Each structure stands twice: as C-alpha cells, then as structure tokens.
Amino acid sequence: MPETYLSVKNLTHAYGRSALFSGLTFDVTPGTILQVTGKNGSGKTTLLKLLSGIKMPQEGSIEWTEEDCAYLGHKNAIKTELSPLENLALYQPDTSACALALEDLGLEKLHHHRPCYRLSAGQQRRVALSRVILSNAKVWLLDEPFTALDDTAKAHLIRHLTRHANGGGSAVVATHERLDLEKSLLRELVMA
C-alpha cells in the first residue's frame, strides 16, 4: 500500500482575477477520510473537480499514486430512463453485486427494476452512491454526498465510508454535514 494516494502541492485556482484558493497543500493517505468544509463558493467543488482530473490545475501539482478514483458530483449522473440495475450494469456486470450494493444503501428490491425517474431524489442519490461503492476505487471523491438522503441513508453512507477507510481506502468528502466517523479516520480541510 502506498504512503499517500494523492499528494497536492501549492494548488492555486482563480476565476478571472479573483483567486478561489491558493497554495493548497495536503496529502490523502490510505485509511483516512478527508472532510472538506467551507462556506458556499469557497472552492470545494472546484477542488474535487481538480482532484478528479476534470479540471486542469492552473498552478501547483496533483500527484496520484492510484490510477482509479470514483467521483460523485452534485448531480447523480444516472440515466433516469433506465432502472437502478441497468445504470449500475455499466460499472459492474455482476447483477447480484449491484443488487446487494443497492440494498446495502437501503434501496428495496422492488425499486431495482423501476425506471429511475419513478424514484425519489433520495433514492436516486442512493443509486449514484451505489456506483461509487461498486467501483472498487481506492479513492472516493464525493461532492455533497448527503444531499436528499434521509437519516437512515446517511447512516448507511457513514458505515460505508468507515468500512472503506478501514479497508485501506480513502475519500475526500465535500460537505456541510458533520461526519460521524471515528476520530482516527477523519481529517479536515477548511476552505477559507
């Protein structure tokens, strides 16, 4: 296992002349969950997009030792005409593993074959989170993952984050929610 999955050095990003953040330096190490907090517009989403490679750094560097990461943005990136199982089949061909992941996040079997447009916002979010869990990626990049989730689903996600970190994985989670994780797993990055 590498010492760090991800090493960020002097990362700077600006929109026009106004700097969003500058000189950001941190590591993402195995077995930790990095919570990114900060007020609206402080650059949490931009940071996650930079880490995932969707955006290119303007200054500074991002070094990955892992090839693969799983990204969940503000939106679910699911196709609502397809059922949860059909959406997940794109990432995992084993249908029973997909069904298990959905059930594990509290999405009952009767919803597995329904088109996603018939599901509630919270249920759709669970489908998107199942995709992350099924990805087998060592690093999860989650942008406001608790959006639209009820307390039960939030507890399920916290359990998955704990299991992921205990298994040597790590996650960068941008959220305003308090992450109810063991202190030894949790690190915090506050965006000014």
Partner 1 sequence: MTVQRYFLFCLKLLFRQRREVALPLFFFLIIASLFPLVFPAKLLATLAAPALWITTLLAILLSLNNLFREDVEDEFVLQLLTSPTPLSLLVAVKLLAHWLAYILPLFIALPLMGLWYNLPTESLSVLALSLLLGTPTLLILGALAAALSAGLKQGGTLLMLITLPLAMPILLFALSMVDMSASGLSYAAAGDFLFAMAVVSVSIGPYVIASALRISME
Which stretches of the chain bind partner 1, using CB under 8 A? 52-56, 67-71, 73-82, 86, 89-91, 93, 115
Nearer to partner 1, 99 or 185 (CB): 99
Residues 39/48, Cβ–Cβ less than 8 Å: no
Determine the Cα–Cα distance for residues 53 and 125; give it in Å rounded to an integer: 23
Residues 64/5, Cβ–Cβ less than 8 Å: yes
Query: Which H or E run includes 93?
Result: none
Nearer to partner 1, 55 or 158 (CB): 55
**First-last CA distance in the chain:** 32
- CB under 8 Å to 29, separation ≥6 — which residues? 3, 4, 5, 170
Q: In what order do the strands lie in the sheet with 170-174?
A: 69-72, 139-143, 170-174, 33-38, 186-191
Nearer to partner 1, 98 or 181 (CB): 98
Q: Please report how close the Cβ of residue 180 comes to partner 1 at its closest, in angstroms.
A: 27
Determine the Cα–Cα distance for residues 117 and 83; give it in Å rounded to an integer: 9
Nearer to partner 1, 32 or 87 (CB): 87
**How many alpha carbons fall within 13 Å on the CB side of residue 123?**
19
Q: Please report how close the Cβ of residue 108 comes to partner 1 at its closest, in angstroms.
A: 22
Burial class (CB in 10 A: 0-12, 13-18, 19+), 123: buried
Q: Please report how close the Cβ of residue 177 comes to partner 1 at its closest, in angstroms.
A: 20
Q: Please report how close the Cβ of residue 188 comes to partner 1 at its closest, in angstroms.
A: 24
Nearer to partner 1, 5 or 185 (CB): 5
Q: Please report how close the Cβ of residue 73 comes to partner 1 at its closest, in angstroms.
A: 5
Nearer to partner 1, 116 or 161 (CB): 116
Q: Please report how close the Cβ of residue 173 comes to partner 1 at its closest, in angstroms.
A: 16
